[in-house]
Structure 1
């Protein structure tokens, strides 16, 4: 399961060398992650309504090539694990050439909002959402 978003790099994301500041890559990952979570209707609003928060506990970025002002990029978020955590991998490509520019991942765990306890297994609501989504996908 994956989702793609296209982003045109705004001026306020680049440094004096016209290259995207390294911290903004996590923001691009977040935009793609929200698109992916929307695919199976379990984005942050639905997470909270189900009684769980899903904080990011780990993030990794491998910078392959710099991204410049006004460059159009395609950010792909791929759901890799969901049984005990949400592990989402990301790839950033130049939207025109298709060349890969960056890759990385994030990990999130479920935390019960009422008790503030971390869950060692993903809650059943996540599996329900994923199963409902997959039932409507073409074979």
Structure 2
């Protein structure tokens, strides 16, 4: 007779435990909290969209064209920053050399992308960037 009473008590205890943890997100057993930040959406809207920057010519401080902005990459984990992938050299997409530079090194003024101290030769001397297979 006692066994019949234990089963409902265990079920009730499990149900209460489930309700007590409701609302907490767990990832690998650790409670997680999501924090929200307020963003000035008006200021953000005046920024530059990545889709509009892609394909833009990149200039140096002497107004020489030194490459083209091929892509933007956010590093895994997001804590190491964003990188601009520049296409340097080549002709009509043939023989181009891709390099990665920290996005913060670029200056964007009046929709013109500038990497002030760079030259074509200094960019071509950087290690070649290759996209990881998908």
TM-score by length of 2: 0.26
- Structure with greater proportional strand content: 1
Q: Which has the larger radius of gyration?
A: 2
Structure of greater relative contact order (alpha carbons < 8 Å, 6+ residues apart): 1
